[in-house]
Amino acid sequence: MKKGFFLSFEGIEGTGKSTQARLLFERLREKGFDAVLTEEPGGTKIGHKIRELLLSPDHQEMTPLTELLLYFASRTQHLAQVIIPAVNRGAVVITDRFTDSTIAYQGYGRGIALHLLHSLDTIATEGMQPDITLLLDLDVETGLGRNRGINKTDRIELEDIRFHKRVRNGFLELAAQQPERIKLIDASLEKEEVRKRVLDLVLDIVSS
Ligand code: TMP
């Protein structure tokens, strides 16, 4: 039976979500919560190997379906090995990306049919969704500019700007469809202001 809490951070490249996920994790730990910080693709030894396969700019020949199945493979392992055991013992699990990324990137970005994504999701996660998702939203030019400024260019980031615009639009559509779960946060604000908004939102929910 589920006892803990499952939270994801989502967004396009360069929104600062990994930093915000870590800041939230540290604050929750300080407040005495049993918190776990993890990421996708990754989170496990197998997941990290899959991450390398997915993100290496050397793998330009990867087909969209191979890419999709690898993201789900990483997720299945992540759920079994990290997320489900931690939630079952009562922890707050914070993941940097989860299924919404697959819908935004492989669905809206690559154009894979959404019904196919939902079918695979049922197999890979049995439909498990985060209790709450923090969507850090930023315009694509600013996000990509921030990442390129720090020389972060993996295979997905190297896609053209139209791809990233479709991804952002995908995230925003998901947020409009599921406002109870997906909370939109303006990532163009100062890092400290974003941190405060994230913390207020999460403490409100995990403490209630
Ligand atoms: P990161 O840069 O936030 O660590 O994410 C790795 C990249 O993988 C990022 O470009 C988004 C992409 N991605 C997908 O395309 N589909 C997915 O399901 C996930 C989890 C990430």
Going by pLDDT thresholds of 50, 70 and 90, the confidence category of residue 2 is low
- Ligand 1 touching residue 110 (CB < 6 A): no
Distance (angstroms) between ligand 1 centre and the Cα of 32 equals 30
State which amino acid sits at residue 164: H
105 Cα nearest atom in ligand 1: 15
Distance (angstroms) between ligand 1 centre and the Cα of 157 equals 9
Look at strands 132-137 and 5-10 and give their pairing.
Answer: parallel
Distance (angstroms) between ligand 1 centre and the Cα of 102 equals 8
Provide the 8-state DSSP code for 67.
H
Distance (angstroms) between ligand 1 centre and the Cα of 58 equals 16
152 Cα nearest atom in ligand 1: 2
pLDDT, position 108: 98
Q: Which of 37, 75, 101 to mutate to test the pocket of ligand 1 (most atoms within 8 A of CB)?
A: 101
54 Cα nearest atom in ligand 1: 8
Atom 12 in ligand 1: residue holding the nearest Cα: 156
Going by pLDDT thresholds of 50, 70 and 90, the confidence category of residue 129 is very high
97-122 average pLDDT score: 98
pTM confidence score: 0.96
Of the candidates 125, 165, 130, the residue with the CA atom closest to the CA atom of residue 13 = 165
Q: Taking a C-beta distance cutoff of 8 angstroms, is the pair 33, 164 a contact?
A: no
**CA dist., res. 83 & res. 80, Å (int):** 7
* Tens digits of residue pLDDT in 22-52: 999 999 999 999 999 999 999 999 999 999 9
pLDDT, position 207: 77
- At 158, is the secondary structure helix, strand, or coil? coil
